[in-house]
Amino acid sequence: MSTVVWRFGLAAALLLGLAACTGSPAPAQQAVAGTQAVSAVSARALPSVVKILTNGGNGSGVVYAADGLILTNEHVVRGAPTVQVAFADGQRVDGTVRAVDAVTDLALVQVARTGLPVAKFQPELPGLGDLLIVIGSPLGFENSVTAGVVSGLHREIPGSAAESQALIDLVQTDAAISPGNSGGAVFDAAGEVVGISEAYIPPQAGAVSLGFAIPAATAVDVAEQLKNTGRARHAFAGLEPAQLTPQIAAQLHLPRADGVIAIAVTPGGPAANAGLRPGDVVTAVDDATVATPEDFLVQLRRRNPGDTVTVTFHRPDGQDTRAALTLIDRPAFSQ
């Protein structure tokens, strides 16, 4: 945890005086308490976090079940039928990739060990400013601990929809997340997993401490499906969204540039059956405004196959049209 430097002036003295009068802990005491919490959580949580090694590099994982089931990111094990798993007790064993889900970037690895220390998952989202502890193997450094706070909830990485559907509805933190942390755990102050480390924005992009994690509720939902059936079900609209820019709107003679444009519609799919066609501009799903492709994917993530939603869209005439669209289970070929 980074050292906190306090600058004592009049304002700081007044704050300390207020803390003394109200019985609240002084800043130095709060810093000590925070450090102690990180130490306590780290001691309990380290045995449940592992390092995963493949021919292409390394990542991290979390013990999901005592019988040798490990949860990690799909991109950590992508293309590898087998991996090596290094445990905090020093043992290193072979693992088999049991099931993967590219949509949420989650995967399960099975190892031949039992009696493993299982991490406890907290399905409730943490609150803004809550303490977070990240444990993993950044750049191969096993059992590394970093700490920070919850910087934001329900975050989407702009522009990510063109390459991945996983970088939506994430927990943002200023705790350091680096290459190799992927698939590791983000713990709260109670030592429960509130997220799976997913991504970070590097400093060369102008970022300072911007890390992201998959919420625990999503991770558990997908992990249970992968464990039980070998695949996860996802709502599918049969529509590929793309960002609508003023330039594209002008080229297509659209009077409005709000919403996302459907650059492809699956023949016979839900969107086509609802009357949508390529070039239509979607502006809302039910009551939620859709301004980016990531917004559209978030709405799908929050729904299940079989749900019916109302899609608002417009065409070159600029008039809003509403249609009922019944979502289906995402076809296996469509990732």
3-state secondary structure 106-144: EEEEEECCCCCCCCCECCCCCCCCCEEEEEECHHHCCCE
Residue of 195, 169, 150 whose CA lies nearest to 288: 169
- At residue 332, the pLDDT reads 77
Please report, rounded to a whole number, the percentage of residues in the chain having pLDDT higher than 90. 80
Which of 64-73, 202-211, 288-297 bottoms out in mean pLDDT, i.e. has the lowest?
202-211
Type and span of the H or E element at 52: strand 49-54
Read off φ and ψ for residue 119, nearest 5 degrees: -75, 145
Which of 4-8, 105-109, 149-153, 279-283 bottoms out in mean pLDDT, i.e. has the lowest?
4-8
Cα gap 33→36, rounded to integer Å: 5
- At residue 295, the pLDDT reads 96
pTM: 0.86
pLDDT at 1 over 60: no
Is 182 assigned a catalytic role? yes
Which of 25-34, 87-96, 246-255, 267-276 bottoms out in mean pLDDT, i.e. has the lowest?
25-34
> Using 50, 70 and 90 to split pLDDT, how confident is the model at 259?
very high
CATH numbers and ranges of domains, the chain: 131-221 (2.40.10.10), 235-329 (2.30.42.10)
pLDDT at 26 over 80: no
- At residue 20, the pLDDT reads 30
- At residue 101, the pLDDT reads 97
Give 193's contacts (C-beta < 8 A, 6+ positions apart).
62, 119, 120, 121, 122, 185, 186, 187, 216, 219
Query: Residues 151, 182, 197, 209: which is the catalytic one?
Result: 182
Other Cβ atoms closer than 10 A to 301: 16
Which of 100-109, 153-162, 202-211 bottoms out in mean pLDDT, i.e. has the lowest?
202-211
Q: Which residue has the higher pLDDT, 11 or 46?
A: 46
DSSP 8-state code for residue 4: P
Query: Count of H helices and E strands in the chain?
Result: 7, 20
Cα gap 111→68, rounded to integer Å: 5
Average pLDDT over residues 135-164: 94
> Using 50, 70 and 90 to split pLDDT, how confident is the model at 262?
very high
Contact indicator for 300, 242 with CB cutoff of 8 Å: no
Q: Which residue has the higher pLDDT, 331 or 207?
A: 331
> Using 50, 70 and 90 to split pLDDT, how confident is the model at 204?
confident
Cα distances (angstroms) measured from residue 181 to each of 79, 163, 301, 327 = 19, 20, 24, 34
User: Which tokens in the block code for residue 333?
Assistant: 């070929």
Q: pLDDT tens for residues 295-306?
A: 999 999 999 999
Cα distances (angstroms) measured from residue 24 to each of 10, 11, 20, 27, 149 = 19, 17, 6, 9, 20
> Using 50, 70 and 90 to split pLDDT, how confident is the model at 120?
very high
Task: Name the residue type at position 46.
Answer: L
Query: Residues 101, 105, 169, 280: which is the catalytic one?
Result: 105
Cα gap 98→79, rounded to integer Å: 12
Cα gap 133→23, rounded to integer Å: 28
CA 303 from chain centre, in angstroms, equals 17
Furthest-apart CA atoms within the chain: distance in Å: 70
Query: Residues 60, 75, 197, 234: which is the catalytic one?
Result: 75
Helix (H/G/I), strand (E/B), else coil: 281 = strand
